[in-house]
Chains A and B, each alone.
Chain A
């Protein structure tokens, strides 16, 4: 079946770079997404990458896609305490339902 896997926890110091990793089993989705969930809130789209791209940069965020290994990563440069949140990677489902398949979420803890 379709599966998206993430590690559950990452702790970094303020000012360091954070790298959150995601692997998936089904490569049919054309878009892959990163969502951010702040404490007590819903999810918000942070960034996305089209599957014909290897890399996308958006200010402090860099998304890397390795299609061969089915591996997606999100790098946050100069991590700030405000970046503390849960980060979910997601991909479209294989059927035309609009369904998104989410990973388990990675909790990013930023220490001052």
Chain B
């Protein structure tokens, strides 16, 4: 199994450009999520999905869109890039049956996409 894969690894955008960060997992996980990592702020949840066709907002969703047409893929779209979106983006997945907070919930992370917006 490849686990969670992300492309591209690095990207530089100009302000106002749009792009899609790709995320795929081959573990048949129903739960997938996107985080951004900024220095001194840990990981903040952008959007998440509990299954194909179902998405919801995390704590920092503005400026990002997601869709989940298949179990495997969960792309993150930047609609009009801004310098404040310069960050490292991580995709993660987890088995759905463990989603209650009382259950063990190991999330598997991709290697990340380092995005710079000029």
Contacts and interface: CB of A to CB of B under 8 A. Distances in A.
Interface residues of A, number: 30
A48 B104 contact: yes
A50 B40 CA distance: 27
B13 interface: no
Given A43-B109, A97-B50, A30 B101 contact: yes
Contacts of A48: 104, 106
A4 B56 CA distance: 22
Nearest to A91: B101
B45 A99 contact: yes
Given A97-B50, A98-B31, A104-B42, A29 B101 contact: yes
Given A98-B33, A99-B58, A28 B101 contact: yes
Interface string B38-60: 00111101001010000010100
Contacts of A88: 42-43
A42 B40 contact: no
Interface in B99-118: 99-107, 109-112
B109 A44 contact: yes
A43 B112 CA distance: 9
Contacts of A45: 106-107
The 3 closest A-B pairs by CB, nearest first: A42-B109, A92-B101, A98-B99
